[in-house]
Structure 1
Amino acid sequence: MHLEVFAHADSNWTDKIDRFGGNLFHTPQWADSRRSAASRALFFQLYDARRDCLGIALGIEMWSPLPVIGRYSKQLEFETYPAVQDDREELVHAMMKQIISHARGRGFRRVVFNSYLTRTFLKHPGDMGLKTKPRIEFIIDLTRSDSQLFSGFSAHHKRKIKKARKHDLVFCGSQDPQAMRQFRQLQKRSRDRRLERGENMAVREDGYYEELGKRYFAADLGTVFMLTCDGRPVSAAFVAHYGPQALYMYGGSNDLGFEMDAPILLFSHIFSCCRERGRRIFNLGGVPEEARQPEAQSHGLFRFKEGFGGAQRICLNAVADNLNPGRDKLLNLFKRLLRPKVVFDAG
C-alpha cells in the first residue's frame, strides 16, 4: 500500500466519500471553509498495488504567518480519522502510519488526528507513537420517531421540555448572517454564565463566527436553529450537516432562555427538523471521558447530552508530536531572537 497526497480533490472524491462512508470533515466544501493565508487543505489517498483506492483523508496544513518562523512551524491537523474500505481498522492504522511518515519527511512538527464523527476506535495507537485522549460522543438515531426519542429522554429532560412548552417559544432555522450574529450574542451570554460559576469556556472572536457562517451557509453545510420569544432570540445552536449526518457544533442561551429551559426544547425541535431534511444521525458532539465524574468541570455538559438518551461512543483524539526535533530547536531559537526586547527607563 502507498499514500498519495494532493492539494486539491480529484473528480471522484465525492464518490469516494460515499463509498467509504465519509463525513463532513472529508468534503472539499469543508476544506474550502478552512483555507486561509496560513493554512491549506491536503487530500490523502491510500492505494493498493493494483491502484485500487482503499481510503481517503483530509488534513489541514497550518503554519505561522510570521516570516522565517513559518517554514519551521508546520503542523497537520485532521478533524476526523481516514475513511476506509469497510471501516477496517487495519487500513485506518496503515493510513495514519503513512501520513505520519509523510509529515515527518516534509518537516512537519506534529500531526493531530481528532476523532469527530469517526466510527473507528484505535486499539493500538502506541504502535504509531500516538498520544491519545479519550472522549465520548453522543449519537441520536433520527430514524426513530419523535415519540420514540422522547421516551428515551431522561426524566429531567422530559420535565424541562414540558416546562418550556408552556412559554410562547417559536422555532426556526436560518442560513442568514444575521442569524449567526444573533446566535453569537447568545453564545457570549452562556460563556459569561459559565465564567461566573468558575468554569472555563473557550470562545473565539466574532470574526471567526462571521466567516464560519458565511462559508458554511454558502456550501449548505450548516444552519442556525433558534427559539424566539416575542420575536427575540433566547436560545440557538449552530449545526453542521452533510449527507445523512448532522453535528452540533456550538450553542448558547440568554438568561431568559435559560430560565425557560429553552435549550432542551430547542434540541427536540432540531432532531425533528433534521429528520425532515433527510438526516439519519445526529451527533451531539463530545466531552472528555473524565466528564463522567461528578467533580469534573464539564460534568454538567455530560449530563445535558446524556439526557437525550442517545448511544455513547468512545473515541480517541491522537497526536504524533516532536516529529522533527531539530526544527523545533530552530523554531525556539528564532522565537527568542524575534521576541521584542523590553527596555525599562530607570530615570
Structure 2
Amino acid sequence: MSARIQTHRNRAQTRLDTAPLREFTARFATAEEIENWDKHVTANPNGGNMLQSAAYASVKNGSGWKVRFLVLEAPGNSSYNLVLEKSFPVLGRLWYLIKGPDVAAAADLKAALEACAAFARSRKLNVFTIKVEPDIIGTAEAQRDIQAAGLVKAPNIQSNDSTALLDISGSSEDVFKAISSRARNAIRRAEREGCQVVRQEQGPETYHALYDLMADTVNAKGSMPLRSYDYYAKFWDEFCNRGQGNFFFVYEDGRPSVGAFVINYGAKATYKDGGSTQNRKQYGDSHLVQWEAIRRMQELGCTEYDFCGTPPAARIKDKTHNLYGMGMFKTSFTKTVTDFVGCYDYVLSPLRHKLWTSGGEKVLRRIETARTGQQFY
C-alpha cells in the first residue's frame, strides 16, 4: 500500500479528535518565493505536484494562460499553489488551481477557498470561478467535506485523477518483491534475453524518438490525445533544465522500441510520457523500462512512483474503457488504483458560472483550440 494512501486513511480515522478547523489567508508569492518556488511547493502538506512546479509554470505561461503564484497561509501551515488564469469577454477571469489547493485534508478546503475568494475580490481581479482538483483521495468523508465547501462537480481534466501509485520508499529488493509475479517474470525474462535500458540526454534527437513512439501508440490504440511536438519539446526541456526530467529507452533492431519520460519532483516520481512500437519481439521490455526508471527514481530520493493514469478503480477491468490496456500494465506493478476527488468548481459569480457551464466553456474552448491548435487545458 502506498504510504500516501495510508496517511490519508489515518487522517480520516482521526479527524474527530483533531483541533478546530483553521482559518486561511491568501496572497501572491514574493519575488524571493517565486525564485525558490520548487523548494516551497515540495514542502506543501501533500508534497506538491509536478504540475505545480516552476517548470510547468514556464510551459503554460504565455500559452493562453497567465501564471500566478498563490500562497495560502494558516497557523503552522503554508501552501504554495500554481494558478493558471484565463480572461474572457463578459465572464471575467477563470482561475485554475491545477492539482490544488494543496491542503492537509479535505476539511481544510472550505476555509482555503474562502480565503482565495476574499483575496480575489479584495484585489478586484474579477474572478468568476476557481477550478480546483486537490490531490485528496476520494473517500466518503472527503466527499462530505467537498459538499460542505460548496464545490460543484466539473469534468475531470488531468489523466491521473485515477492512477496507480507505487510505494518505492523501501529497498529495491523490497519493492521488487512487492510488485506482481507477472511483472517480476517479465523483467527477469527481458534481462535474461539481453534487453537493455538506455538513459538518454535531453535534446531534439531524444525528443523526436519519444514523440514518434508516443504517436505510434496513439495511432494504434487511441488511448489519449497527443499534443504537438513543440509542446512536448518545451515541456521536456523545462523539466530537464532543472534536473527533474529523465528519459529511458530500449532498442530493437537498432531503433527505439519503447521510451519513457519520468519526472522526479521532491519525493514524488511521475511516469509522465511514454510510447512504443507495435508487434515487438522483445518480451518484457516495457516492464524493464519501468523497473529501471523506478530504481533511478529511488536513487534521486523519491519515495512514491505515480504511473499517471488508469481507469477508475470501479472500471479497472472494463475492456471498453479507453485506458484499459494502460491500466492492466500499470496495475501489474501495484494492484491498488487510487481515485482522487477530481475536478470541482468553486463559484464566485453564480450567473457567470451558469453562462460558462451552459455553453460558454464549450464555445470558448472550441474557439481557442481553432486559434492556437492546442488543447485548452
TM-score after normalising by structure 1: 0.78
Matches within 5 A, 1:20-169: 20=45, 21-48=47-74, 54-63=78-87, 69=88, 72=91, 74-84=93-103, 87-99=104-116, 106-115=125-134, 122-124=142-144, 125-127=146-148, 128-131=150-153, 135-169=161-195
State whether structure 2 residue 24 is matched by structure 1 residue 5: no
1:262 corresponds in structure 2 to 285
Contact (CA 8 Å) 1:142, 1:279: kept in 2 or not? yes
| Helix, strand or coil at the partner of 1:18 | coil
Contact (CA 8 Å) 2:113, 2:346: kept in 1 or not? no
Where in structure 2 are there 5+ consecutive unaligned residues?
Answer: 1-22, 368-377
Contact (CA 8 Å) 1:322, 1:328: kept in 2 or not? no
Contact (CA 8 Å) 1:137, 1:313: kept in 2 or not? yes
Contact (CA 8 Å) 1:183, 1:237: kept in 2 or not? yes
Q: Which of the two has greater strand per residue?
A: 1
| Helix, strand or coil at the partner of 2:230 | helix
Give the letter aligned to residue 153 of structure 1. I
Identity of aligned residues (%): 17
Pick closer, same or farther for the CA change 1:58–1:247 going to 2, 3 Å.
same
Pick closer, same or farther for the CA change 1:165–1:203 going to 2, 3 Å.
same
Cα distance in 1 for residues equivalent to 2:280 and 2:25:
50
Cα distance in 2 for residues equivalent to 1:158 and 1:292:
21
Contact (CA 8 Å) 1:183, 1:236: kept in 2 or not? yes
1:251 corresponds in structure 2 to 274
Contact (CA 8 Å) 1:4, 1:44: kept in 2 or not? yes
4+ residue segments displaced more than 6 Å: none
Contact (CA 8 Å) 2:197, 2:288: kept in 1 or not? no
Matches within 5 A, 1:127-276: 127=148, 128-131=150-153, 135-177=161-203, 178-195=205-222, 200-255=223-278, 257=280, 260-276=283-299
| Helix, strand or coil at the partner of 2:256 | strand
Contact (CA 8 Å) 2:138, 2:339: kept in 1 or not? no
Give the letter aligned to residue 86 of structure 2. M
Pick closer, same or farther for the CA change 1:108–1:19 going to 2, 3 Å.
closer
Give the letter aligned to residue 66 of structure 2. R
TM-score after normalising by structure 2: 0.72
- CA-based RMSD: 3.3
2:17 corresponds in structure 1 to none
